[in-house]
Amino acid sequence: MTTVAAYAKLTLSLRITGVRPDGYHEIDAEMVTLDLADTLVIEPGRGVILEGGHDIDADDNLITRALDLVGRTARVTVTKRIPPGAGLGGGSADAAAVLRWAGYADVAGSARLGADVPFCLVGGRARVRGIGEQVEPLDHLPRTLTLLTPPFGCSTPAVYRRWDELGGPQGENGNDLEPAALQVEPRLEQYRRALEEASGRLPRLAGSGSTWFVEGAHPGADRRVVHTVPAR
């Protein structure tokens, strides 16, 4: 039996630089690893067991797909702490943790599981380009941030589709997906206002949402103070 941590990622900035003929969007982003993590217990057997109250498709999930990629079988029990659908890479972090456990180090190959998996496999702080498969490690910068995650998620495909429909707007606050996400899920606005009022800072959306974040520690109801961590 092996216990591994799956660390959340935060997209500090996100620019969309193009759309490929196959419909995938190319990005130029800065991502960091946070000290917020799921715990995976990996032992002999088969199947994925999820603790913590979140649903998972036992036959089609990123953990199972990661095991298939490395040709391994295992029974994986997951304690979820990274909220799903929040733009914090929870599923990708879980998949990357399984890949590390299996000794898999092909960063570009891990993109077959999802655009965030390559960064989660590398971790730390990095510039991420292409469709997520180009990960350039950067020096670690200790940072304290406050997250506010609404009680609902955002569909990444829906947000990208809306971005296309809007003609590819550039976000004024460092995230090109913010305008599209606010149209896909208008309830985001009230949570942005709440975090702005609590912190005195203009929040930025994490990736395609639904988490908002600001620099500094601003503890309070529904808010989580986190710190960046170096690659492990």
Catalytic residue positions, numbered: 9, 116
Q: Residue 9: what residue type?
A: K
Rounded distance between C-alpha atoms, residue 136 and residue 128, angstroms:
6
What b-and-e string marks burial along 92-111, b requiring 16 or more CB atoms within 10 Å of the CB?
A: bbbbbbbbbbbebeebeebb
Q: Where are the beta strands (DSSP E) in 20-85?
A: 25-43, 47-51, 75-79
Residue 171 DSSP SS3: coil
Q: At what angle do helices 62-70 and 90-101 cross, to 10 degrees?
A: 30
* Token duo for residue 177: 């997906």
